[in-house]
């Protein structure tokens, strides 16, 4: 018989639920209790287990779709009813098979009201979600990841007293190092990650987060690389970067970006980092002022590398490949001079990389 799988009531708030991926493909067998799909709410990404054993016959909502609680998401072909499957034998009580409902002709059902689940609390929530979901004509709906990023960035800008230090650096050594690695194309960000990782070793305060009465040690030693994937913001963590080569770091960054492109749910999660590097140089921006990725102590904004005229001490004017850096700093954690020394150390590392 056919079993209609409806989205369980997994959202902690009135958040919509987004399907991340189907773990089982159509036509494949699944056991009762085996993970069937992965979903994302505003709180967590989680696996949803199949309530029945059978074969996944139809998928009614694709990866990326937002669904409401109680919405029909899949049809499974099962040999027994769910409750009979439990005992491994005939149900002890009177026959309680739900009538098999023929599949609807429409590909994408379902108004929230039509999909109303039986549970009374769930029903109320489904109605509330339906009422709050904006119609596409009235604006651009935000994805869950975008809402999470929006909340975190607003909190950062409102609660962290930022100050900003700007400087420039010579990219000569970096360019030479990059050329030497050819034909491998090293990611520019790999150099900044490595420079920050080496510099931060001598700046204990930047390895802390503000915790009211004290500076608490940060949870992670990873340097993050901010990436924009289809207008969703993510940070790729590079763990223990000071122990790695620029080649290794570059490969990890490219791998992290690929995971995001493929929709890997692990990559979409917020993972702790010590300090984030964000780069708009590739977008031809000379310099910009980034917002701290909480609870980090600072964020490094990287502008584009381009030929610039440099006045030397002896009065000569030379043309050199140079880039700009902006360090946004949590003033509760570091003073201007302390942060300036840190930024200076980053420049020194970059210029001798």
Partner 1 sequence: MELVAYQPDFLLGLYERMVRIREFEDGIKFLFLEGIMPGTIHQCQGQEATAVGVCAALGSDDFITSTFRGHGHALAKGLSVQELLDELFGAATGCCKGKGGSMHVGNMAKGMVPGIAIVAGGIPVAAGMAMAFKMQHSGRVVACFFGDGAVAEGAFHEGVNMAAIWNLPVLFVCENNLYGASTHVSKVMRDTNIARRVAGYGIRGEQADGNDVLAVYEAARAAVEECRAGRGPAFLELLTYRRTGHSRRDPCHYQPQEERAAWAAKDPIDRFAEILKSQAIADDAALEAIKDRVLRQFNAAVENAKRAPLPTLEDLTTEVFA
CB-based burial, 71-94: b 16+ in 10 Å, e otherwise: bbbbbbebebbbebbeeeeebeee
CB of 274 to partner 1, least distance (A): 19
Q: For residue 22, what are the β-bridge partners?
A: 37
CB of 50 to partner 1, least distance (A): 8
Q: Is 301 exposed, middle or buried (0-12, 13-18, 19+ CB in 10 A)?
A: buried
CB of 85 to partner 1, least distance (A): 9
Distance, in Å, from the CA atom of 221 to the CA atom of 211, rounded to the nearest integer, reads 18
Closest to partner 1 by CB, 8 or 344:
8
CB of 258 to partner 1, least distance (A): 23
| Chain positions contacting partner 1, by CB under 8 A | 6-12, 32-33, 41, 43-51, 69-70, 82-84, 86-88, 91-94, 96, 117-122
Closest to partner 1 by CB, 86 or 282:
86
CB of 20 to partner 1, least distance (A): 12
Closest to partner 1 by CB, 9 or 351:
9
Closest to partner 1 by CB, 53 or 277:
53
- For strands 215-217 and 35-40, give the pairing: unpaired
Closest to partner 1 by CB, 10 or 127:
10
Distance, in Å, from the CA atom of 285 to the CA atom of 305, rounded to the nearest integer, reads 9
CB of 156 to partner 1, least distance (A): 23
Closest to partner 1 by CB, 93 or 136:
93
Distance, in Å, from the CA atom of 22 to the CA atom of 19, rounded to the nearest integer, reads 8
Report residue 27 as tokens. Answer: 């036509």
Best CA proximity match to 325, nearest among 294, 282, 280: 280
Helix count (H) and strand count (E) of the chain?
8, 17
């Amino acid at each position: 018989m056919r079993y209609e799988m409806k989205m369980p009531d997994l959202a902690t708030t009135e958040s919509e639920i987004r399907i991340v991926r189907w773990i089982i493909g159509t036509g494949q067998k699944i056991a009762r209790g085996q993970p069937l799909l992965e979903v994302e709410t505003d709180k967590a990404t989680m696996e949803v287990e199949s309530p029945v054993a059978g074969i996944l016959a139809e998928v009614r909502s694709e990866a990326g779709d937002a669904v409401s609680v109680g919405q029909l998401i899949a049809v499974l072909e099962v040999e027994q009813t769910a409750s009979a499957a439990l005992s491994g034998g005939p149900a002890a009580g009177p026959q309680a098979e739900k009538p098999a409902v023929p599949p609807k002709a429409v590909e994408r059902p379902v108004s929230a009201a039509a999909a109303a689940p039986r549970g009374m609390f769930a029903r109320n929530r489904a109605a509330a979600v339906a009422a709050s979901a904006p119609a596409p004509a009235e604006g651009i709906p935000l994805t869950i990841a975008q809402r999470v990023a929006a909340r975190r960035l607003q909190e950062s800008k409102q609660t962290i007293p930022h100050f900003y230090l700007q400087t420039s650096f010579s990219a000569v050594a970096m360019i030479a190092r990059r050329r030497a690695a050819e034909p491998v194309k090293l990611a520019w960000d790999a150099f900044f990650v490595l420079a920050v990782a080496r510099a931060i070793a001598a700046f204990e305060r930047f390895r802390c987060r503000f915790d009211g009465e004290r500076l608490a040690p940060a949870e992670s030693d990873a340097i993050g690389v901010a990436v924009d994937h289809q207008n969703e913001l993510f940070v790729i963590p590079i763990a223990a970067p000071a122990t790695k080569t620029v080649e290794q770091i570059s490969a990890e960054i490219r791998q992290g970006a690929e995971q995001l492109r493929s929709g890997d749910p692990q990559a979409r999660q917020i993972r702790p980092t010590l300090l984030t590097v964000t780069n708009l140089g590739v977008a031809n921006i000379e310099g910009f002022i980034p917002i701290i990725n909480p609870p980090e102590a600072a964020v490094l904004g990287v502008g584009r590398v381009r030929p610039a005229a440099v006045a030397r001490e002896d009065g000569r004017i030379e043309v050199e490949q140079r880039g700009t850096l902006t360090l946004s700093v949590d003033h509760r954690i570091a003073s201007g001079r302390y942060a300036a020394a840190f930024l200076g150390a980053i420049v020194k590392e970059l210029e001798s990389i």
